Structure formats: structure tokens, C-alpha cells
Amino acid sequence: MDKTLAHLQELDAADPLRHVRDRFRLPDGAVYLDGNSLGPPPDTAQAHLEQAVTEWRERLIAGWFEAGWAEAPMRVGDRLARLVGASPGEVVVSDSTTVDLYKLIVAALDAQPERRAVVIQPDDFPTDRYVATSLTSRTPGVEVRQVDPDRVSEALDEHVALVLLSHVGYRTGRLLDMRELTRAAHDAGALVLWDLSHSAGALPVDLGACDVDLAAGCTYKFLNGGPGAPAFLYVARRLAGRLGNPIPGWFGHADTFAFAERYAPAAGARRFLTGTPGILGLAALEGALEVWDGVDLRQVREKSSRMGDVLIALIDEACAGRGVTVVSPREAVNRGSQVSISVARAGEVTGRLAERGVVADYRPPDVVRFGLTPLYTRYVDLAAAGEALRSVLDELTARAAP
């Protein structure tokens, strides 16, 4: 693997996505390898947000209809649908990922009263485990089975209502086989719910082709929607009519502004809306999604895979013999858009990297995570990260020496 600076500069010059970086204004000199935690604002996100504030001032209450606020969760969902292989009406944007997971897990259990088990991953993102596990004490008979993704099929039987999996693991970046695992769940008669927080906007996702039932994910990571931007949820069209929202509110009603006496669910994923959507957050996200127009996710994936290979090679070189382990899969096909290392004093390493202008993430107890976001990360940034890591390890070793 050629990882000389000259070669990395050549890769940047030949990068078909290099113009997209101009739509982000990153702080000068920043090597931001943390867009998988919080993406930076594209210029269009700020423009849409400012426009929404102007509409709020000028139209006041009339904005709900005249400025399209009432339809925003569906409109933005349709825009996002293309990025995850969904059809119009199958994606809505609302609430947080945690809340959306709750709604979808409960809906899946309610729809299959004869099945009471939910399969989850023991190393999944904490909130996914918390919200799934909480149901065991709240809903009589519900059982949570924690199994490694390699052993999902062993946990599947006629009691399983739902399999909840993260497409890309937040800690190691391991990418699971969506098609295969969805098929395994279906073969056992269970539904499947994919958390796409680390794959939406990071790689091509095809929920339709993989016959996925349910999905949810963040929009503030690879989708750059802004801090706490509303999450998205997906319900396959074939399934929506069978599922009920456990928090049925007026925005999921078939006719929100009729103020009807009784609740009647809207068609499609829209029934999973609950209360009044946060329009300012939706506006920023709607603007942020514009940067994807004309972007081919296969090119994003290709660049991300190559960047991962380069970064792993640079880390191997910078860290040889220093107790650092790459914990992300080394083969790009099994890796999402990040490279994680396990290292002693990982929190301190992350802090010292930041002092050198390289922003990564610390995930306790021992992981430093470098996010790769091909819309604005350059190959030369990886060289800077490798150099910074080498220098931090030098410093820590020198300090530890007697």
C-alpha cells in the first residue's frame, strides 16, 4: 500500500467527490475525523435554517400550511429515502433514534402477541440495549436475548418477534450482512429492525432490496443534520398497515388538523409520528440533505473503503510494537466508515490528538475511533492523523520512561 504523502495528494486530486468538500466550511487546519459523531454543517443547512426562521417571523401560525411545516417529516423522509433504498412514504423524520426504536420494537411485539422474544447484540450501542431491555420489566412475558451477530441464527425460534441489529457497530465499525441476517430472521418468522445510525450516508443501503421490515437511525452523524437533529424511521409499505404506534399522537393521525374525536392512524410510516415536529431541526436537515444531490453512494463507499485501508496502514506503521491494536475489521468489505484502535489510556490519547488538531472519538474503556466521511475528508488528512498519533505515542512513551 503506497501511503506516501505524494500518493495521497494524487488520490485527492483524482477524487470524484473532492468538490463536495467546498459545501462545508470546516475550521482552518482541522482534521475532523469525528463526522460519525457529529457531522459539520453544509452551507445549505445554514441557509435552510435561516429561511425557516424568516418564515416563522413572517408567517407565524400560517407557516404550518403556507411554509410546508406540517408535511416536513414526510417530505424530508422522502428525500432521505433515496439514501437508504426506501420508497416514498416509507420514511419519516421525527424524534430521536432512541424514541423511534422504542416505537418500532413495541409495534413489532404488539403485532405478534404469540412471540415475546427480542434478539439484540450484547455490544450494540447502549441506548439500543437500554430501550429494548426496558421492555422486559414493562411488558409481561417479554424476553431479551443478547447474542453476538455471528450466532443470531442460534437464537432464532418461534418465540422471536424481532431481531434488532446495528448495520455498522459503533465501536469497532463492523459491517453486518443486512441481506443474510434479514433472511435468517424471516426464515424464523421474525421481523427485523436495523439501526442505520452508522451506515446511512456512509455506504449504500438498500432496505427495499434486502426486504427489511423496519429501520431507524441518526441524521446528525454522516447526514450532517446538526446536533440532535431529528432521527428517521422506516417501515416497509407492505407492513405498515399491521403496525400500531405505541405513542399515538395527533401528528400520526390520518387527519391531524380535523381534531377528530377518535384516533385513526395515517397510512404508511406517517402513523409513527407522535407530536408536533421540530421544524427548525427539520429545516437544517432538509438543507443538509441537499449536498447528496448528484452524489453517488458507491463512490462514497469506494473512497471510504480506500481511506480505511490507508489509515490502517498508517496506523500499523506509526504504532508498530506499541501495544496498539486495530479493532476494526481489516478487510474493507466487513468495515463501515471508521477505523478504531484499542490502546492504553485511550482517553488521554484522544485528548492529545485533539491538541494537535486531529479530532477523533474516545469510546471507553480503550477505544479511539477515527470516523471517515468521504464528502469532506481528504486522504492527506489521514497522513496528518497518522503523524499525530505517532507523536502522541512518542510523548506518552517518553513520559512513562524512568
Ligand X SMILES: *Cc1c(COP(=O)(O)O)cnc(C)c1O
Q: List the 367-371 sheet strands across, edge first.
A: 325-326, 338-342, 367-371, 361-363
Q: Tell me whether residue 69 or residue 232 sits nearer to ligand X (CB atom).
A: 232
CB-CB contact of 339 with 312 (8 Å): yes
- Nearest-Å Rg of the Cα atoms of the chain is 22
CB count within 10 Å of CB 55 equals 18
- Tell me how far apart the alpha carbons of residues 347 and 87 are, in angstroms, rounded to a whole number: 42
The residues in 162-201 that bind ligand X, with binding defined as CB under 6 A, are 166, 170, 195, 197-198
Candidate list 103, 116, 171, 221, residue with the active-site label:
221
Instruction: For cell 496528518, name the residue.
Output: 384
* Residue 36 CB, nearest approach to ligand X (Å): 8
CB-CB contact of 118 with 145 (8 Å): yes
- Catalytic, 3? Answer no
- Catalytic, 130? Answer no
Q: Tell me whether residue 115 or residue 337 sits nearer to ligand X (CB atom).
A: 337
* Residue 199 CB, nearest approach to ligand X (Å): 10
- Out of 96, 134, 334, 391, the only residue in the binding site for ligand X (CB under 6 A) is 96
- Tell me how far apart the alpha carbons of residues 290 and 285 are, in angstroms, rounded to a whole number: 9
Judged by DSSP in three states, 142 sits in coil
- Catalytic, 157? Answer no
* Residue 175 CB, nearest approach to ligand X (Å): 13
Q: Tell whether residue 69 is a contact of ligand X (CB under 6 A).
A: no
* Residue 57 CB, nearest approach to ligand X (Å): 29
- Out of 176, 231, 324, 372, the only residue in the binding site for ligand X (CB under 6 A) is 231
- Among the residue ranges 42-50, 104-112, 120-128, 207-215, the one whose residues contact ligand X (CB under 6 A): 120-128
- Among the residue ranges 92-100, 269-277, 338-346, 358-366, the one whose residues contact ligand X (CB under 6 A): 92-100
DSSP 81: H
Q: Dihedral, CA atoms, 200, 201, 206, 208, nearest 10 degrees?
A: 60
Candidate list 128, 195, 309, 381, residue with the active-site label:
195
CB-CB contact of 352 with 395 (8 Å): yes
Q: Tell me whether residue 128 or residue 286 sits nearer to ligand X (CB atom).
A: 128
| Contact set with ligand X (CB under 6 A) | 96-98, 125, 127-128, 166, 170, 195, 197-198, 218, 231
